[in-house]
Structure 1
Amino acid sequence: MSDKFVPYHLCDINNPPAHLDGNQKLNWIRAAKKAKKNYQYQQQHPALDIPTSFYEIIYVNKYTTTETMQKLINHVRNCNEFTFDTEDEKSTKQLALIQIQTIPQQLPFFVILVECAHLPPINSSIHLQIKQLFELIFKFRNNIYSWESLRKEIYPAIVYQWFEWPIKTSVVNFQLKFADWYNWTLSH
């Protein structure tokens, strides 16, 4: 059986495929170690099963309607806590996706996916509503939970002119609190 069909967590990490060159072997070993660790986490921590009635996923892009944006803005006005994550486009290392989860007092929560490569024109009403959304999220008394420093996560989006830097919200590095949060979540 070829190595590409064997899950990394079942591969012998110290025995990469022979056809790989030096750099490829290092990358393969790093990926295999990471996959093995992720597999161990999956065994230790069962997946959270969240009913779809508890949340709504909203994509923000050039096809988003003003009604959807207004729904988001109204929802965010009633929230004081958010989780924040971003993803880069692999080949260019450019910001590709901003993921924001609202933490409202009452369900449903929203998962907002801002698709940076598919934004509306800067002079459009949707773009202005996106700016309004970010201004509400980054209000002074709000809390943002992020896996990385917010400077690393959101600063690349400064080019869109949705917010002023530095932001005034309180930021909690979620990575440092994950184990406690996970245990609390399971108990609730």
Structure 2
Amino acid sequence: MKYFDHNRPDIHYSTGDQVIKRISINRSKLAMLYSNAMTVIKEMHPNYFIQDPTEQKIYQVHVSQLRSISSDRFDIEEEVKNLCDIIKCATDFIFDTESDIHSHIPALIQVLIVQEDQKLLLVLLIETTHLPDISSLRFREIQKLFQYLFRTGTNLYSWGSLEDELTRFQIYQLFSVPVPARIFNVQYIFTKWFNEYINKKSNDNNSNTTDNDDSVIINAPEIDSELFLPPIMMNHLKVINNELWSLQDAIAYIFYKHLLKRETLRSWYLPKNQITEFQPEILSIDRSDYP
């Protein structure tokens, strides 16, 4: 996303202009994000009708909520400061990291920012192989972002050991491990909970003369036959092999969905000469799209 110029006096937009719409995240005027690019389809200054080309939705927006897209600069410092304001107002964060499939270089940190009473879930993507120079102001601002994420009193959740994952990223000097925040290994917590739950359910069924259907129907590839094992048998295999539940298996047995791993196996790392500068990405997920 390119920088949007908001210093022009007496801003007017014309039909066909590319703009972005401001999204207020909380009461702080500093903590604001912006939508993807939209097109002005009707002008009634100071109000404009804009259309989202992805969802084909039309919005009526006041001019104060719009910014034009410029191709000549990107104010990374302002964007990171806005993100810091959002992070300071939150205490729960879900982490995941990825390494390049070929070189195994730590390449991507994903952070879901959990906010209460907000319709949008924000996901921050940090491509660590494209960071600015370590002596630059931009780099220090990104370091500050991690200081807020890892501050005392925040809760960090991950599937697996987040300490181990973060340790691999210390080479970028964004933070040091251990961090002051509380860390929760959801994989370990889930494995312990599911074993207790399935044993209790089994005992309840044994004391009940009514037949209980213990089958699981999952929309998964036929070659992955292990996913069709009854929950008690699957859990027994995990226990005797001293194996934690994978996220794919957990999703299958709790939500009856097959989670593809293919999308995470990517060439996340690109040579420096293919990237001109660091550009943070932040995604917004609408809570209403999920049960």
TM-score, normalized by length of structure 1?
Answer: 0.59
Separation in structure 2 between the aligned mates of residue 94 and residue 57 of structure 1, nearest angstrom: 31
- Indicate the residue corresponding to 2:100 in structure 1: 89
Larger-gyration structure (1/2): 2
SS of equivalent residue, structure 1 residue 172: strand
Q: Is the 8 A contact 2:128 2:172 kept in 1?
A: no
Separation in structure 1 between the aligned mates of residue 163 and residue 105 of structure 2, nearest angstrom: 15
Aligned mate of 1:80, from 73, 86, 91: 91
Q: Is the 8 A contact 1:57 1:112 kept in 2?
A: no
More strand by share: 2
Separation in structure 2 between the aligned mates of residue 115 and residue 150 of structure 1, nearest angstrom: 17
- Indicate the residue corresponding to 1:101 in structure 2: 112
In percent, how many aligned pairs have the same letter? 29
Are residue 115 (structure 1) and residue 127 (structure 2) matched? yes
Q: Is the 8 A contact 2:163 2:177 kept in 1?
A: no
Unpaired runs of 5+ residues, structure 2, are 1-22, 26-32, 36-73, 191-246, 256-286
Using the TM superposition, give the Cα deviation of residue 64 of structure 1 relative to its aligned residue in structure 2, in angstroms.
6.6
Separation in structure 1 between the aligned mates of residue 34 and residue 96 of structure 2, nearest angstrom: 15
Q: Is the 8 A contact 1:85 1:147 kept in 2?
A: yes
Q: Is the 8 A contact 1:64 1:126 kept in 2?
A: no
Using the TM superposition, give the Cα deviation of residue 160 of structure 1 relative to its aligned residue in structure 2, in angstroms.
2.0
Aligned mate of 2:173, from 146, 161, 180: 161
Separation in structure 2 between the aligned mates of residue 106 and residue 162 of structure 1, nearest angstrom: 30
Residues 116 and 187 of structure 1, relative CA distance in 2, 3 Å threshold = closer
SS of equivalent residue, structure 1 residue 157: helix
- Indicate the residue corresponding to 1:71 in structure 2: 82
TM-score, normalized by length of structure 2?
Answer: 0.40
More helix by share: 1
Q: How does 1:1-188 map to 2 (within 5 A)?
A: 65-107=76-118, 108-175=120-187, 176-177=189-190
Following superposition, which runs of at least 4 residues in structure 1 exceed 3 angstroms of deviation? 55-58, 176-180, 185-188
